[in-house]
Amino acid sequence: MINNMRVLVGISGASGSIYAERLIAELASRIPRVYVIFTKTGQQVCRHELTISDERFSLLRLLKQEQNPDHVIRVFSDEDLFAPVASGSSVPTHMVVLPCSMGCLARISCGISSGLLERAADVMLKQKRPLIVCPRETPLNTIHLRNMTSLSEMGVHIVPAMPAFYQKPSGISDLVDFMVGRILEILNLDHQLYRPWNPRMR
Ligand SMILES: Cc1cc2nc3c(=O)[nH]c(=O)nc-3n(C[C@H](O)[C@H](O)[C@H](O)COP(=O)(O)O)c2cc1C
C-alpha cells in the first residue's frame, strides 16, 4: 500500500502551520509522493507563524522552492485548476486538510470548490477516497459544528487540532508530534511520535 500512496496535504489559513510542516516531513520519509496546496491565507499564516529552524524540513523553504528532498513533494498552486489533483481521473489516495480554517471547512462541506484545495477535497468526496480534515478554531459556533457534522456524515475524518497532555509533553514539539501521530494512524502509517497510552508506565 505504502508504495502506491499519494497523499495531498492542503494548508489553509488557520493557525497551526507547524502541524503541516511536521506531517509533510513525516510523510516524505515514508511514502513516494506528497502533494501540497497552500491557500493564499495559508501561505500568509505560515510566514507569520513559522521560522526556518527545523533541521529536518522547513515549510518556508518549500514555499520558497528551496527544499524538496528527492522531489517527493510536489506543490500545486491553489489557482491551478488544471493540476492533476483537480480531476477524478488522477486523484490522490488520501487527502489531509491541516490546519483547516472554518471558512475552508464550510466551503468543502458545501462543495463550493473555489480553488484547487477545495476542488481536490470535492474530488475526494465524490470518489469516496479518505479525506481527513483538521479544524482549528475555538470557541466553535453552531455553523462550524453543523459543517463538521455534515462532513462527518459523508465519511470525512474530523481530527481537530487538539493535542493531549496525558503524554506529559516536554514542549511544543511533543504536542505537534501527538497530533501528527494521530493523523498517521488514520493513514495506517506506523510511527513512534509518541508512546501508546499505558497508565502503568509513567
Ligand atoms: C494569523 C491568523 C490566524 C488565523 N487562525 C485561524 C484559525 O485558527 N481558524 C480559522 O478558522 N481561521 C483563522 N484565521 C482566519 C482565516 O485565515 C480566514 O478566515 C481566511 O479567510 C481563511 O482562508 P482560507 O480558508 O482560504 O485559507 C486566521 C487568520 C490569521 C491572519
**pTM of the predicted model as reported, rounded to 2 decimal places:** 0.95
Q: Establish whether residue 17 lines the binding site of ligand 1, counting it when its CB lies within 6 angstroms of any ligand atom.
A: no
**Of 123 and 202, the one with more pLDDT:** 123
**DSSP class of residue 33?**
E
For 77, the domain range is 2-186
In a domain, 196, yes or no: no
Element (H, E) at 97: strand 94-100
pLDDT of residue 200: 75
pLDDT of residue 30: 94
CA-nearest residue, atom 14 of ligand 1: 14
CATH number at residue 109: 3.40.50.1950
pLDDT tens for residues 86-98? 998 888 999 999 9
Q: Which of 36, 41, 118, 145 has most ligand 1 atoms within 8 Å of its beta carbon, as the pocket-test mutant?
A: 41
Q: What is the domain count for the chain?
A: 1
d(CA 126, CA 129): 8
In a domain, 193, yes or no: no
In a domain, 127, yes or no: yes
Residue that the C-alpha cell 499564516 belongs to: 45
CA-CA distances (angstroms) from residue 117 to 57, 80, 111? Answer: 22, 10, 11
In a domain, 192, yes or no: no
In a domain, 200, yes or no: no
| Average pLDDT of the residues of the chain | 93
